[in-house]
Amino acid sequence: MIVPGPVVLISSMSKGQPNVMTAAWLAAQSLSPTLISVAIHPDRLTHQFVSATEELVINIPVMEALSTIHQAGQISGRDGDKFAALGLEPDESAIVEPPRVAGCAGYIAKPIRLSRFPQQVRTFLEGAA
């Protein structure tokens, strides 16, 4: 599979409802300042939550979670609690409201800056790491 970066789980939260999605379009954009970009389609619930709150957590999963990572990209948080549906344990983040995904190898939790582009590209999310 050709992707610009690692496959991660993006967790978000809005109005007390947590959500998690699989993202494969994640890339470092700058070392100074440190910037990371992630592509989230505007139709996704995660895009709605992140646009409203400007917060997310990038969860770096372990290989043993491969099946769960795949499933997270197949179901929608609009249909219910994806953490519960996937058997994931939310873990409180000290920096942002969205929970971390317990058991991941690493986490990046930061407020983000939204950059919007016209038509095909639409929204570019970047956050200082």
DSSP code of 2? -
* Rounded Cα–Cα distance for residues 54 and 95 (Å): 13
* Rounded Cα–Cα distance for residues 104 and 62 (Å): 6
Task: Extract the tokens encoding 91.
Answer: 């873990």
Predicted confidence pLDDT, tens digits, the chain (129 residues): 455 668 999 999 999 999 999 998 888 888 887 788 888 888 899 999 998 999 999 999 999 999 999 999 999 999 999 999 999 999 999 999 999 999 999 999 878 877 665 544 445 555 554
23 with 7: CB under 8 angstroms? yes
pLDDT value, residue 111: 82
List the domains of the chain with CATH numbers: 8-128 (2.30.110.10)
**Cβ neighbourhood burial of 92 (10 Å; 0-12, 13-18, 19+):** exposed
